[in-house]
Structure 1
Amino acid sequence: MRVDNRNRLLMLADILRTQTDEEHELTLEEIMGKFRQEHGADLKLNRNSLRDDVEHLIEAGFDITINQEKDGMPKFYSHQYRLFELYELRMLIDAVASAKFITKDETRQLIRKIKELTSIHHAKRLHNEILIDSSVKSESNLVRLAINDLHEAISERRNVTFQYGRYNVEKKFVMSKNGGIYKVKPLALTWASDFYYLIAYYFPGQEIRHYRIDRLRNVRITDETYPYEPFDAPKYVRSTFHMYAGTEEWIKLRCVNGLVNVMLDKFGKEVEITMDGDAHFILKTKAIASDGLVKWLLNWGSEAKVLAPIDLQNRVRNEIMEMMKVYQD
């Protein structure tokens, strides 16, 4: 049995790509063995043809490292350049494994594809570090289709329609507005708090809102287009809390010094900070004054106090009073 020149070249590139790396090299003899494992022991190969194939691949820009300890010793061949470093692949896998909007099956498929971006030896080193928590994974396999359609709509600046829903206490998915259609102008997609969100202008309410993509159903791209308008998605996400809607306004907080990194992580380094004695600082920034902000602030107990606006301070106080009633019963 023989393999034609074109197929042999492609097979050689595949063997080097999948089975070699910085720590795993192959001699010509071993490469010939890989060919025969795939196509049978009677496969006829020529050493000189393989050497020529190596040169052709190098000339075409395919990375091949050739090592030889000294003259007369076997040469070792390997493909060492990778588009992604091993630690970068590990970060991609960790992100996919922890993303709640990706189903369990899609997670396994994506991880398998990511591992194909490196050698089989490096892929094994990634295996034991994967933990997929099924309890937090989305059950909707429509998310990836919705993401694709929404990206297309944003790119082409076209309005979209969809239905939206939530789970009830019986864990059944129930459509909002009795299954009515939402019509919006899509502005951006963002990944926040482990979920994918669509940020869009909601026409009936004449305001910007955000929607969990795993809760969208029947996404449709319309023929209606809209002109380009600049939109600062990162700023919008920074100003929201746990992706609750609300109005943006100036807030002022008094915090213990130990919370400075928490506040900078949440609001960014552009916030205004002034010292208030030796143990506290005053923070001033713009944020969405929502229920999410109230609940987030309560995470820090007595270490963070709302100074302004008064309405937000009252909302925090009222929530604390309601909590006290719950625990007094």
Structure 2
Amino acid sequence: MPRVFNQKIKILYLMRVFLEQTDEEHPMSVKELITYLNNLGISAERKTVYDDIETLRNFGMDILNRREKPAGFYLASREFELPELKLLVDAVQSSRFITSRKSRQLIGKLESLASVYEARQLRRQVFVENRIRTMNESVYYSIDEIQRALNEDRQISFQYCEWTVEKELRLKKNGERYLVSPWGLVWQNENYYLVAYDEKCEKVKHYRVDKILQIQIENQPRDGKEIFKNYDTGELTSRTFGMFGGREETICLEAHNRLVGVVLDRFGRDIMIHRKDSEHFKTLIRVNVSGQFFGWIASLGPDAVIASPEEVREEYREFLEKSLSNYK
């Protein structure tokens, strides 16, 4: 390469070696930096290397000179610190909706944000009890298309799947395409859900993104603006159990004081808690009444009671009786 070009590209290679090969425990001396450049066919002198390091510092790179052994220059701070990268790697590895292959790819990209030495610490296995990974890699494409439709204020269409007893995904409605207006993505129970308005049914519906196939952005503008004008997605996730639908109801829940943490974790700290007596509290919560909600109540045992409305109490009694009938 021409000498002038070599000098122009030299500082870029120095930037790369600081990013990839150095940290506090692995600095590089000027002599080692010159050798590194010479191996790339780039001639360098001590003075020009010092000048380039100063230019990189002025550019914003936190390059320090370690005096004690091992001595040399190293990149002291990065966009992501090692504990932050470990946290991200753990999140990727423990996520059910990310396939094993995609998980390895993402972790490889996260490793590139650390030095080669720190990257070794990111190659660890996180074990999550009962984790089942999705096999549908189109989820990434679907999320991207949904976000684009949200930004462009347009409807989407797609095919939707369900699992069969043979453990195979089967198209619902014989492959008929669903046409909805997307209004958000919700992360719940380790899955992504599309929150959308179905104009045909005039309802807000939820769809598991990993069960969406052949998504397409349509030309029609989104419907449901009035419904979603003051829609609180965070509140939706607290009152919807397993993202199953159901009619909205305000429930008076009475429970033992030991369950107050469970209720606050589920519905947030903004709900009003009142003492019923020295050992029990009561609260009003907005929920979508469904079998999943009744299952959650049942999991709390006899220490939690639906106090009102009576209609929901009756539905819960029927739910328990039908469940109990399976064991007679």
What is the CA deviation profile of residues 204-232 of structure 1, one whole-angstrom value per residue up to 9, with x for unaligned ones? 11010110000011111001113765332
Partners of 2:35 and 2:299 lie apart in 1 by 62
CA shift in 2, pair 1:24/1:264, >3 Å: same
Of residues 147-156 and 133-142 in structure 1, the stretch that sits farther from structure 2 once superposed is 133-142
Q: Does 1:217 align with 2:198?
A: no
Aligned residue type for 1:267: F
The count of residues paired between Structure 1 and Structure 2 equals 322
For 1:68 and 1:125, how far apart are their aligned partners in 2? 26
The whole-number CA distance in structure 2 between the counterparts of 1:34 and 1:90 is 29
How far is 1:324 from its partner?
A: 2.1
Listed as ranges, the matches of 1:294-305 within 5 Å are 294-305=294-305
Structure-2 change in CA distance of 1:87 and 1:149 (3 Å): same
Is the Cα contact below 8 Å between 1:251 and 1:309 reproduced in 2?
yes
Amino acid aligned to 1:47: R
Cα shift readout 1:130-155 (whole Å, capped 9, x = no counterpart): 44889611111111000000000011
8 Å contact from structure 1 (residues 104, 132) kept in 2: no
* Aligned twin of 1:189: 185
Q: Name the structure 1 match of 2:197.
A: 201
**Residue 234 (1) aligns with residue 234 (2):** yes
The one-letter amino acid of 2:152's match is E
Q: Is the contact made by 2:195 and 2:204 (CA closer than 8 Å) also made in structure 1?
A: yes
**What are structure 2's unaligned runs of at least 5 residues?**
none
1:7 to 3, 6, 9: 9
For the residues of structure 2 that align with 1:75 and 1:87, how far apart are their CA atoms? 24
Q: CA deviation at 1:24?
A: 2.8
Contact 2:93 2:103 in 1 (8 A): yes
Q: Are 1:98 and 1:194, in contact at CA under 8 Å, matched by a contact in 2? A: no
Q: Classify the secondary structure of the residue corresponding to 1:139.
A: coil
Letter in 2 for 1:148: D
1:139 aligned partner:
135
The residue correspondences of 1:1-329 to structure 2 (distance < 5 A) are 4-35=6-37, 39=40, 44-68=43-67, 76-131=72-127, 136-226=132-222, 229-230=228-229, 231-328=231-328
> Which amino acid in 2 is paired with 1:68?
R
> What is the aligned-residue RMSD (CA, Å)?
2.3
* Distance in 1 between residues matched to 2:100 and 2:179, nearest whole Å: 30
Q: CA–CA distance in 2 between the matches of 1:325 and 1:292? A: 18
Moved more, 305-314 or 187-196: 305-314
Q: Displacement of 1:238 after TM fit?
A: 1.5
Cα separation, partners in 2 of 1:251 and 1:314, compared to 1, 3 Å: same
Q: How far 1:74 moved relative to its partner?
A: 9.4
Contact 2:253–2:306 (Cα < 8 Å) also in 1 = yes
* Residue ranges of structure 1 left out of the alignment (5+ in a row): none
Name the SS of the counterpart of 1:140 in structure 2: coil
Paired with 2:264 and 2:18, the residues of 1 have a C-alpha distance of 47
Shift of 1:292: 1.6
Q: What is the CA–CA distance in structure 1 between the aligned matches of 2:66 and 2:125, rounded to whole Å?
A: 32
Q: 1:168 to 1:74 in 2, by over 3 A?
A: closer
- The CA distance in 2 between the partners of 1:15 and 1:61, in whole Å, is 16
Is this contact kept in 1: 2:27–2:70, CA < 8 A? no
Percent identity over paired residues: 31
The code of the aligned residue for 1:314 comes to E
Q: CA deviation at 1:267?
A: 0.4
Stretch of structure 1 that moved more, 193-202 or 177-186 = 177-186
C-alpha displacement of 1:60: 2.1
Per-residue CA distance 1:160-200 (angstroms, 9 max, x = gap): 11111101111121111121111111000111100011000
TM-score, normalising length: structure 2: 0.91
Do the aligned partners of residues 153 and 43 (structure 1) sit closer, same or farther apart at CA in structure 2, a change above 3 Å counting?
Answer: closer
